[in-house]
Amino acid sequence: MISPPLLAQPKARVVIVGGGVAGASVAQKLGRSGAGIDVTLIEPNRRYTTPFFSNRALVDLKPLESFTHGYDKLAAINNVRIVHDTVIGGDPSDQSVRLASGTDLPYDRLVVAPGTRLITDQIDGYGPESELIFPHAYSGSSSHQWELLRQQVHNMKDGGLVVITAPRRPYKCTPAPYERASLIAGYLHQHNPKSKLLVLDSKVEFPLMDAMLEIWDEKFGDLIEWISADFGGAIDGVNNEARSILADGETIAPDVGNIIPPQRAGAIAQQLNLVDEHGWCPVNPLTFESTRQENIHVLGDAIDAGDMPKAASAAHQHALASAVAIKNILSGSSDPFPNLENACYFLTGPGQALVVGGRYRIDGGRIIGIEGYSSDLGESAEDRQKTARDADQWYTDIVQAMFG
């Protein structure tokens, strides 16, 4: 007598919230893992504009479309499903999330990659309309803010003033405000040489500060000025009607104001009780599982990652490590934990770039830096051109890892 076939075991279900670097990367890694895991990626936008590298579009080095990508190739992977919706809540005890459409999605493992949210209540007078007057062009996955800031820079009157504000740490992509200042200063130097650019900084230093200040002085002279927190760079408030910024008791009325507010973990992380008193999500760095909620992994800019910075490269590393951990947990495999690395590239001008990066290990439940590297002061043009080429290759590789 032939025995009846065994009933097929249900596939493990992984739901991923957020289709940025970490979310898309872990979806592709799990989808291609061969572990037979059903992966559902929830992302409201059908196309994603990478915040990293989009500074180039502000000064027409490349169009924003070059940094905007769809999810079609990712959705074509077996076991991967893309749901364009918004998670509005969830029940960790019931292991489900609720979508704005009213659907409840159950999971065996939940991955939350929410990015950061802007903390605007620390800036007096800042409201929803402030984002239109002083665009941040820093947060979110759509291109609107970058398009708005680009338009303001290009339409600025002759001899006008641009102000860029940089927040206190931690925030995502720490070098990005200074790359932006360098690129916009280069554009103004060519098209509006009587203009002025101020960087108002809530810190007293920034990555590769000595190299960047040397470059600014050599290339732009008095066109650009960096004002640190100890000399009045920390902003206190804004006046939307007057289109002015208050810093250290002084009122500044820029023609273009790019205000980058402080940041904390994205809103859905707070709703799911993944956030600690410091505003970030603590995780077990061996699995990236939340230390506040079981069966939930948190990745990317939203987490407390120890010595690792908040950067696209770091978020991708979190995705690779968590994908291994989730596969091992759900399929009983024992794949090795990958090495943790990070590299941040930023342009100083067309075809010229700097880099800062490092390697990390897990020690005592923390991610600890063990080796760092960076561009040197006074590097040759050839060295910085090579770094720019490396940056372009890195972007190509990470987009491939995210979207296929």
Q: Does 162 share its domain with 238?
A: yes
Contact at 8 Å (CB) between 282 and 276? yes
Q: 38: Cβ–Cβ under 8 A, 6 or more apart, which residues? A: 11, 12, 13, 14, 79, 81
User: Is residue 376 domain-resident?
Assistant: no
Residues pairing with 224 in the sheet: 197
**pLDDT at residue 388, rounded to an integer:** 98
User: Is residue 143 domain-resident?
Assistant: yes
- Burial category of 292 from C-beta neighbours within 10 Å (exposed 0-12, middle 13-18, buried 19 and up): middle
Q: For the chain, what is the domain count?
A: 2
Q: Does 147 share its domain with 242?
A: yes
Residue 56 has phi, psi (to 5 degrees) of: -60, -35
Pairwise CA distance, residues 65 & 57, whole Å: 9
Q: Residue 352 is inside which H or E element, if any?
A: strand 352-363
Domain that holds residue 109: 13-115+266-337
User: Is residue 342 domain-resident?
Assistant: no
Contact at 8 Å (CB) between 211 and 377? yes
The per-residue pLDDT for range 284-317, each reduced to its tens digit, is 999 999 999 999 999 999 999 999 999 999 999 9
**pLDDT at residue 140, rounded to an integer:** 74
**pLDDT at residue 142, rounded to an integer:** 72
Q: 121: Cβ–Cβ under 8 A, 6 or more apart, which residues? A: none
**pLDDT at residue 141, rounded to an integer:** 66
User: Is residue 287 domain-resident?
Assistant: yes
Pairwise CA distance, residues 215 & 218, whole Å: 5
User: Is residue 375 domain-resident?
Assistant: no
User: Is residue 191 domain-resident?
Assistant: yes
**Under-70 pLDDT residues of the chain:** 1-9, 141
User: Is residue 380 domain-resident?
Assistant: no
Name the residue with tokens 């572990």.
35
Termini Cα distance of the chain: 48
Q: Does 110 share its domain with 125?
A: no
The tokens for 316 are 């991708």
Q: Does 298 share its domain with 246?
A: no
Q: Does 202 share its domain with 320?
A: no
**pLDDT at residue 4, rounded to an integer:** 46
**pLDDT at residue 233, rounded to an integer:** 96
Domain boundary among 313, 337, 361: 337
Closest CA to 14 of 26, 1, 3: 26
pTM of the model: 0.94
Closest CA to 178 of 142, 151, 154, 212: 212
Q: Does 165 share its domain with 53?
A: no
User: Is residue 2 domain-resident?
Assistant: no
